[in-house]
Amino acid sequence: MDITNLTIAVVGAGYGGAAVAKGLSLHGADVTVYEQATEIAEVGAGIGLRPSTMDLFRRWGIFDAIARVSSPSDYFEILTATGDPIAKDSWPGMDDYAVKTHTHLIHRGDFIDALTGVLPDGMIELGHKLESLDDRGATTVLRFTNGETVEADLVIGADGIKSTVRQQLFGDHEPVFAGEHAYRVVIPTSACHGMVVDDNLRMYIGRGTKVYLLPLRHRDGLSFDVTALDADGTWVPQVTKEDLLSKVEGFDERIVAIARDLDLSTVNVRAVYDIDPVDTWHTGSVTLLGDSAHAMLHHQGQGANSAIMDAGALVDALLAADSVPAALAAFQAERKPVTDELQAISRHGWTDDELDDVFPGQKPAAQATR
């Protein structure tokens, strides 16, 4: 299909929205990204961009822009709370491409800056919060809370876990509480008590708590993420330093020292949610993409990567199909089996015993057991 004739509206300038806008713009499409925020910002935390994601960026000619603000990593390691090794594995997929392709560790803020920085000027419209959609079949009209309306041949709902597009067109799929809190912060290497030794991810597992140490050596930092079972499902829970210290009690003393030294006002604390699989992601002119379609728990580190891979698959489907509805059907057929499985696997974060400690007799809905 010749996509240069389409007017395409992307809702949300997160990783999924920015990536699909980049991929489409490379083929001359008329794309506008509508973002509710008045400035683009991300919380202080690190993520790992997998080899498949980095390979897609290479195909799109933006590998260097991402590599410049990230560190290549060879492997991840899982250890007990006190540092005894449990497992160590190379990142899967590193040798699947003509050139060895590492996982790249990156700060979330640097990643969104780099992705939006490679978009053509003026492609993102800030301060546009989608209020409602009118799906008229071949086109869809979007209404924003600032009073503007836009008609598009294709709407891509990349508006995250609480997606307005999903809730309006694909039914109620309210976020599901996982019974966990995530504490996330990036600290300087000098505050790491010697825990940054190379560019590899380490996860320490205690009873009901996981600590992820993700080095960001290119910016002299460490992403420190404590994920712990907790019954309080408030999106932004009010926690104290004592709460955090109780989660890491019994861990390697350097991890306890990092937690003790933190200024809690710099730590992003969130209750953790995902959604159940959504049966249908698209109509004839609207599709979901990324977390709006398949928000998943972060235990496998696949949410952002999945949003990017969705973007690549959607661009390819639009180029290959002879109509928008056929492309959206092909996109869902390719991606949904993969993300259904990742959503399911990501719910296997804890043992029965750990869940019983915090939720005696009633496991949270978003928890299977390993």
Select the residue interacting with ligand FAD from 21, 47, 275, 328 (CB under 6 A). 47
Select the residue interacting with ligand FAD from 182, 187, 259, 278 (CB under 6 A). 182
Select the residue interacting with ligand FAD from 15, 170, 204, 281 (CB under 6 A). 15
Count the site residues for ligand FAD by CB under 6 A: 31
Which residue, 124 or 192, is less far from ligand FAD as judged by CB?
124
Residues 6+ apart with CB under 8 A from 314: 20, 23, 156, 287, 289, 327, 331
User: Which residues 288-317 are close enough to bind ligand FAD by CB under 6 A?
Assistant: 290-291, 298, 301-305, 307
In terms of DSSP H, where are the helices of the chain?
15-25, 51-59, 63-67, 108-117, 164-169, 241-247, 253-261, 291-294, 303-320, 324-346, 352-358
Residue 73 interacts with ligand FAD (CB under 6 A): yes or no: no
> Least Å distance between CB 293 and ligand FAD?
8
C-alpha count within 13 angstroms, C-beta hemisphere, residue 307: 26
Which two three-digit tokens encode residue 86? 């449990």
Residue 43 interacts with ligand FAD (CB under 6 A): yes or no: no
If one counts every other C-beta atom within 10 angstroms of the C-beta of residue 348, the result is 14
Residue 34 interacts with ligand FAD (CB under 6 A): yes or no: yes
Select the residue interacting with ligand FAD from 23, 48, 51, 179 (CB under 6 A). 48
Residues 6+ apart with CB under 8 A from 97: 51, 55, 58
Residues 6+ apart with CB under 8 A from 293: 166, 278, 281, 310, 335, 336, 339
Contact present, 176 and 343 (Cβ < 8 Å):
no
C-alpha count within 13 angstroms, C-beta hemisphere, residue 300: 19
Residue 11 interacts with ligand FAD (CB under 6 A): yes or no: yes
Residue 215 interacts with ligand FAD (CB under 6 A): yes or no: no
Which residue, 108 or 285, is less far from ligand FAD as judged by CB?
108
Select the residue interacting with ligand FAD from 7, 72, 74, 129 (CB under 6 A). 129
Contact present, 136 and 40 (Cβ < 8 Å):
no
Residues in the chain: 370
Give the C-alpha separation, 166 to 292, whole Å: 7
Give the C-alpha separation, 19 to 24, whole Å: 9
Which residue, 9 or 192, is less far from ligand FAD as judged by CB?
9
Residue 164 interacts with ligand FAD (CB under 6 A): yes or no: yes
Select the residue interacting with ligand FAD from 3, 10, 16, 355 (CB under 6 A). 16
Residue 199 interacts with ligand FAD (CB under 6 A): yes or no: no
User: Which residues 316-335 are close enough to bind ligand FAD by CB under 6 A?
Assistant: none
> Least Å distance between CB 326 and ligand FAD?
24
Residues that bind ligand FAD (CB under 6 A): 11-17, 34-37, 47-48, 128-130, 158-160, 164, 182, 184, 290-291, 298, 301-305, 307
